[in-house]
Structure 1
Amino acid sequence: MPSSPKRTTTILAFDFGLRSIGVAVGQSLTQSASPLAALKAKDGQPNWDTTAQLLATWQPTLCVVGLPLNMDGSEQELTQLARKFANRLHGRYGVQVELQDERLTTVSAKEELFAERGYRGLTKDKIDSVSACLIAEDYLNLHSQ
């Protein structure tokens, strides 16, 4: 009997920040993600209507929120705020939310953008959304087995 094809998973990934939240859409078939426009935030709170539109447009199987940890793996103040954002996503929209270690994603995002566009590419919203891509791809690669 042939094995059934694996279901393609679509995810929305978020790089949480207090003033800007990077967003990317990823899918399991290609193990890749594409940046979307970053969400403006006030004290870590995005426009929830815009967030609802993203969820309606992409209909993700789950959302992945980057968990900002210190290099030694310990938590910081932003870690708890990212958890709270993840809980709000789940509570408001009923979508499954998972957390993904995001250490060094911002550094990698800056390197990628600089290599492609030089200093002009290093805008905050682009960095945040490319970071969200890396969070999505890390998650997809970790869960592809």
Structure 2
Amino acid sequence: MTLVTTDAAAFRAALPAGGRLIGLDVGTKTIGTALCDAGWSFASPATLIRRTKFTADKAALVALIGPQSVRGLVIGLPLNLDGTESPRSQSTRAFARNVADLGPVLLWDERWSTVAVERAMIEQDISRAKRAERIDNHAAAHILQGAIDALTMTKE
């Protein structure tokens, strides 16, 4: 059974033993990735996947998550600032449905992730070129950290 949900409690119930998670910031040109530990304490940026065709994108994702023993996926859901969905939201939902065979999927509100990460990088005085290179993976880590913080609060 595949699970694609926006409900943290339902996602948590699908993974009663916990396990490593991967966070994804799905864009049109790249997929930023981040991984968390099995205890859901911290998220770290991982490998950037340059998008080509979906089959190649999914193969790259499988190659990343297989050796890491990933049990579930957290995918940033790009909503409009008022919380409504856009064509990009629908595209992300379609991506989530297409990778749901890799594990349960939690769609996580990513409205402020890129802004927060970019602001932090500016404060650290990271050059514009390096920011552009790192932003997607750091946004994925921000998305994943927000989700695991919520997931650990829903533990019973």
TM-score for both structures, normalised by structure 2 = 0.79
Q: Is 1:66 aligned with 2:82? A: no
Task: Tell me which of 56, 76, 93 is aligned to 1:83.
Answer: 93
Tell me, in whole angstroms, the C-alpha distance in 2 between the residues paired with 1:105 and 1:45: 27
Report how many residues are paired. 137
In 2, the alpha carbon distance for the partners of 1:131 and 1:16 equals: 10
Query: Which residue does the alignment assign to 1:25?
Result: 35
* SS of structure 1 residue aligned to 2:51: strand
- For 1:119, the equivalent position in structure 2 comes to 127
Find the partner of 1:103 among 91, 99, 111: 111
SS of aligned partner of 2:105:
strand
TM-aligned CA deviation for residue 119 of structure 1 = 2.0
**Structure 1: unaligned runs, 5 residues or longer:** 1-5
Instruction: Show the counterpart of 2:8.
Output: none
**Which structure shows the higher strand fraction?**
1
Of 47, 70, 75, which aligns to 1:37? 47
**Structure 2: unaligned runs, 5 residues or longer:** 1-15
Post-superposition shift, 1:43?
A: 7.2
What is the RMSD computed on CA atoms of the aligned residues? 2.1
1:46 to partner: Cα distance = 5.3
- The alpha carbon displacement at 1:114 in A equals 2.2
